[in-house]
């Protein structure tokens, strides 16, 4: 160790800080795509196309028909912590958009090359193509034809990060499947949006991995993602817990969505296609996942359920600002939430017993 041998502390240079932090926001292929899809949804898009070349190794392009980026935002869209969505920490509590930290585009600039083509209602059918440098500053712009919306292309992901690039290349199949799983979650939860994901591999035809129709309801979206064969085996979940229980106070909680019935033909051998959405945000919720799997496996010990479960709870009860990818959530009333989920699932997995307990209460 030579640095700091004199015991002095020194600030890390701004450029290095940017690169270090960027590597934490954009950790892999899936988060890159997730951030771009979230931006398109935040922009009110009803059509979002994710186009990959070589599973994203060569390029990731997300095309949307959202509101576009107005001229005033061209120079600053990729600046770190510049956002059009919040102005202060206090705004996070009620934030309705997926993004709010202004980190994604700046991080993508640091880990790859970013080009944005955008047009607003005012400028369409003319737009502008914007190229950004690694530090997120606008490097070049050209006038182009563009309908309202935004296209963001990222090429050479992790080209300057040899260890990550090597890891990505080695595990590209696994990384691609994780990416697909992530896009599937947005496809299920984004009502009114046509979301597609295609992958063009070298010398091969483009394959469509995800495709939803804007008019599809939640069941149709879930089936589009999880497979048509599942349709007869899906049960819908519907449960409302009116806040305070006898033991603890809490806000109202609504559970909805679909889960495969507790029969062997409805289950799977692997725990995939298991999706949670809290207030419309796809997220990891390990305790809830364990609960669903355990309840299911009490009936079908060798199988796992397929599910897409939405939970609506007062925004003040959750904190999504835990991890850079916002997938981890902290729930203030987690026991009540798990309890509500248990109730909802009991009705599906043990219909006779729940009918019995209801009649007993009456």
CB count in 10 Å sphere of residue 13: 9
Cβ closest to ligand ADP, residue 84 vs residue 190: 84
Task: State how far the Cα of 22 lies from the Cα of 138, in Å rounded to an integer.
Answer: 18
In the chain, alpha helices (H): 14-25, 29-42, 71-74, 104-111, 162-170, 172-189, 218-226, 286-297, 334-349, 351-361
Which listed option, ligand ADP, Mg ion, none, makes contact with residue 317 (CB within 5 to 8 Å by class)? none
Q: Taking the complex as a whole, how short is the minimal distance between the CB of residue 129 and ligand ADP, in angstroms?
A: 14
Which listed option, Mg ion, ligand ADP, none, makes contact with residue 105 (CB within 5 to 8 Å by class)? ligand ADP
Site string for ligand ADP, 11-30 (x = CB under 6 A): --------------------
For 47, the token pair is 């059509």
Q: Taking the complex as a whole, how short is the minimal distance between the CB of residue 105 and Mg ion, in angstroms?
A: 7
From 32, 39, 274, 310, residue interacting with ligand ADP (rule: CB under 6 A): 39
Cβ closest to ligand ADP, residue 83 vs residue 212: 83
Q: Which residue is nearest to Mg ion (CB)?
A: 99
Strands 113-119 and 149-155, bridge-based pairing: antiparallel
Task: State how far the Cα of 285 lies from the Cα of 275, in Å rounded to an integer.
Answer: 9
Is residue 99 a contact residue for Mg ion (CB under 5 A)? Answer: yes
From 26, 63, 77, 230, residue interacting with ligand ADP (rule: CB under 6 A): 77
171 CB burial (10 A radius; 0-12, 13-18, 19+): middle
Q: Which residue is nearest to ligand ADP (CB)?
A: 99
From 46, 47, 58, 73, residue interacting with ligand ADP (rule: CB under 6 A): 73
Is residue 43 a contact residue for ligand ADP (CB under 6 A)? Answer: yes
Answer yes or no: are the C-beta atoms of 178 and 29 closer than 8 Å: yes
Is residue 190 a contact residue for ligand ADP (CB under 6 A)? Answer: no
From 31, 39, 117, 150, residue interacting with Mg ion (rule: CB under 5 A): 39
- For the chain, the C-alpha Rg in angstroms (whole number) is 22
Task: State how far the Cα of 46 lies from the Cα of 213, in Å rounded to an integer.
Answer: 10
187-30-111 Cα angle (round to 5): 135
For 187, the token pair is 């496809």
From 65, 150, 274, 336, residue interacting with ligand ADP (rule: CB under 6 A): 150
From 36, 78, 104, 128, residue interacting with Mg ion (rule: CB under 5 A): 104
Task: State how far the Cα of 197 lies from the Cα of 247, in Å rounded to an integer.
Answer: 46
Q: Which residues contact 359 (CB under 8 A, 6 or more apart)?
A: none
Is residue 100 a contact residue for ligand ADP (CB under 6 A)? Answer: yes
Cβ closest to Mg ion, residue 81 vs residue 360: 81
Q: Taking the complex as a whole, how short is the minimal distance between the CB of residue 39 and Mg ion, in angstroms?
A: 4
For 145, the token pair is 């034809």
Is residue 22 a contact residue for Mg ion (CB under 5 A)? Answer: no
Which listed option, ligand ADP, Mg ion, none, makes contact with residue 40 (CB within 5 to 8 Å by class)? ligand ADP
Q: How far separated are the first and last CA of the chain, in Å rounded?
A: 73
From 23, 58, 101, 342, residue interacting with ligand ADP (rule: CB under 6 A): 101
Q: Taking the complex as a whole, how short is the minimal distance between the CB of residue 41 and ligand ADP, in angstroms?
A: 9
Query: Quick one: which segment of 103-111, 185-193, 321-329, 346-354 binds ligand ADP (CB under 6 A)?
Result: 103-111
CA-based nearest residue to 309, from 322, 321, 291: 291
């Amino acid at each position: 160790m030579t640095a700091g041998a004199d015991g002095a502390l020194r600030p890390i240079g701004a450029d290095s800080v940017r690169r270090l932090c960027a590597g934490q926001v954009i950790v892999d292929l899936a988060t890159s795509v997730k951030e771009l899809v979230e931006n398109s949804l935040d922009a009110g898009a009803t059509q979002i196309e994710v186009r990959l070349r070589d599973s994203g190794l060569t390029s990731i392009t997300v095309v949307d028909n959202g509101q576009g980026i107005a001229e005033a935002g061209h120079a600053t869209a990729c600046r770190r912590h510049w956002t059009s969505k919040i102005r202060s920490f206090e705004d996070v509590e009620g934030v309705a958009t997926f993004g709010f930290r202004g980190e994604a585009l700046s991080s993508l600039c640091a880990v790859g090359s970013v080009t944005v083509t955008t047009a607003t209602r005012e400028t369409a059918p003319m737009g502008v193509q914007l190229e950004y440098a690694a530090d997120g500053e606008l490097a070049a712009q050209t006038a182009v034809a563009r309908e309202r919306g935004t296209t963001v292309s990222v090429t050479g992901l992790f080209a300057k990060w040899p260890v990550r690039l090597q890891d990505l290349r080695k595990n590209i199949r696994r990384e691609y499947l994780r990416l697909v799983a992530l896009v599937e979650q947005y496809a299920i939860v984004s009502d009114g949006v046509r979301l597609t994901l295609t992958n063009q591999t070298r010398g091969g035809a483009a394959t469509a991995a995800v495709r939803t129709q804007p008019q599809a309801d939640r069941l149709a979206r879930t089936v589009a993602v999880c497979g048509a064969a599942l349709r007869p085996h899906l049960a819908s979940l519907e449960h409302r817990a009116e806040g305070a229980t006898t033991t603890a106070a809490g806000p109202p909680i609504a559970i909805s969505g679909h889960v495969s019935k507790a029969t062997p033909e409805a289950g799977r051998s692997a725990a995939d296609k298991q999706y949670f959405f809290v207030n419309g945000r796809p997220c990891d919720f390990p305790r809830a996942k364990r609960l669903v799997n355990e309840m299911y496996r009490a009936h079908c010990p060798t199988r796992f359920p397929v599910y897409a479960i939405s939970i609506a709870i007062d925004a003040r009860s959750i904190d999504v600002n835990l991890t850079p990818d916002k997938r981890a959530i902290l729930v203030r009333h987690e026991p009540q939430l798990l309890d509500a989920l248990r109730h909802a699932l009991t009705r599906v997995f043990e219909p006779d017993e729940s009918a019995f307990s209801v009649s007993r209460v009456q």
